Every structure is written in C-alpha cells, then in structure tokens.
C-alpha cells in the first residue's frame, strides 16, 4: 500500500484528491494539511510514501515545506510531488532544488496523477525531458550564474560526469545511449552509479546537481 499525504489550502481540491487516491486498491490517503507547516508536522507523524504538495499556501509555503520534509532524516523514504496551478519555471526549479521528486499542474489527468504517485513511490523522478530542458534553459541564461560544484563531483569518472551533464540537458536514458553510442542498459548503469556517488535521491535531483555544478553549458 502506497501511503499518500495531501497538502493544499483548498478544501475542494483535497476532497477531490482524496476521492481519487482512495479509489485505488494500492493507494491510501493517510493525512491532509491546509498549510505548509501542518504538512511537515503530518508528514513527520504519518511517514507517508508520497506527499502531493501545493505551492501557494498560507504561512509556510509548499517549497519551504518540501525543503523541511526532504531534509528530515526520519523522512528519508518520503517523496514529494509538487502539484500547482502555476506552470512557472521558477516554481519547477525551486521545487527540484529543495528536493521534490516531481512537478505536476492541477489540470493533469487523473490517470496520469495516479501513475505519477506510483512512479515517485518507486523512486523514479517525475520530470519530463521537455520540462528539464525548459528549466535549464531559463536558469542557465540568467546573469552572474556562479557554479557551485557538488562536493563529491570529483568521485565521478569522466564518463559519469558526461552522463550527468546529459541528464541535466534533459536527455532520457535512451537518448543518452544514442548520444554516447552505448546500450540503454549501460546508460542506465552510469546514471545509477552517478546518483549513488552524488547522494541524489532521484533523477530530478541529479538534474539540479548538474546545473549547480556547471556541467550544463548554456
């Protein structure tokens, strides 16, 4: 059973999400929160597998709540999906930078939302290549961007650094395999090893590391 926490300041949204999630045999809503602080407190109490997190909430917003949840060692198994009305690059990047495993808008189809919950619960990143490319393009062109290399960047092999850069550009494993002329399985192995060495929770966080370390060149 995948345990889900709903964090949104609109009652109707939470009611709709609860009805959708609880209609599935393998999913269960274990808590609700109407603001970011309550989301953090409920997450610490219920230890959900996935949190559906709104961005704009009173008091502590969804981005800060995500940061607190992801930064809590006791919640290492909890994944956050940011769910918002606003498809803005700054929200996407801030959510990922603070540890979110995915980003969806509220007009996402119900079936896609349910699939997203299951994917994130399995440790996958919910970030399409097109969204990755848009985010990187937006923030890579901002002035005075100073790279902050990941402290473990030196532990990567040359090939792994290359692979991380390609992940940062938004390439899928299949696209990386084609670019490097290796098998998809080999590309997947390189990505997995890089994630372990850098301590990345998922592929989405690997994108952020690539950007912050200056591996993605605009």
Q: What pLDDT is stored for residue 151 in this prediction?
A: 78
Record the pTM.
Answer: 0.70
Q: How confident is the model at residue 137 (pLDDT cuts 50, 70, 90)?
A: low
Q: How confident is the model at residue 119 (pLDDT cuts 50, 70, 90)?
A: confident
CA pair distance 188, 184, nearest whole angstrom? 6
Q: How confident is the model at residue 123 (pLDDT cuts 50, 70, 90)?
A: confident
Sign of CA dihedral 167, 169, 175, 177: negative
Mean pLDDT in residue range 91-98: 73
- Confidence check: pLDDT of 213 > 90: no
Q: How confident is the model at residue 53 (pLDDT cuts 50, 70, 90)?
A: very high
Q: What pLDDT is stored for residue 163 in this prediction?
A: 94
Lowest-confidence segment of 33-47, 93-107, 134-148, 203-217 by average pLDDT: 134-148
Mean pLDDT in residue range 78-105: 77
Q: What pLDDT is stored for residue 29 in this prediction?
A: 97
Q: How many residues does the chain have?
A: 218
Q: What pLDDT is stored for residue 136 in this prediction?
A: 56
Mean pLDDT in residue range 68-90: 83
Per DSSP, the three-state class of 208 is helix
Cα 206–chain centre separation: 10
């Amino acid at each position: 059973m995948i345990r889900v926490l709903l964090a949104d300041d609109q009652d109707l949204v939470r009611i709709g999400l609860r009805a959708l999630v609880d209609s599935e045999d393998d999913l269960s809503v274990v808590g609700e929160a109407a603001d970011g602080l309550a989301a953090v407190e409920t997450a610490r109490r219920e230890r959900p597998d996935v949190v559906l997190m709104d961005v704009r909430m009173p008091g502590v917003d969804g981005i800060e709540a995500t940061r607190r949840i992801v930064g809590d060692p006791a919640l290492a198994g909890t994944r956050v999906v940011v769910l918002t009305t606003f498809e803005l690059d700054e929200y996407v990047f801030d959510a990922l930078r603070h540890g979110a495993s995915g980003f969806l808008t509220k007009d996402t189809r119900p079936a896609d939302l349910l699939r997203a919950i299951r994917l994130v619960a399995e440790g996958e990143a919910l970030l399409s290549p097109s969204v990755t490319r848009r985010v990187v393009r937006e923030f890579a062109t901002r002035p005075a961007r100073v790279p902050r290399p990941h402290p473990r960047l030196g532990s990567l092999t040359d090939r792994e650094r290359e692979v991380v850069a390609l992940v940062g550009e938004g390439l899928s494993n299949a696209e990386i395999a084609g670019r490097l002329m290796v098998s998809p399985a080999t590309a997947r192995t390189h990505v997995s090893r890089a994630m372990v060495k850098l301590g990345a929770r998922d592929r989405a966080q690997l994108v952020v590391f690539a950007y912050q370390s200056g591996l993605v060149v605009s």
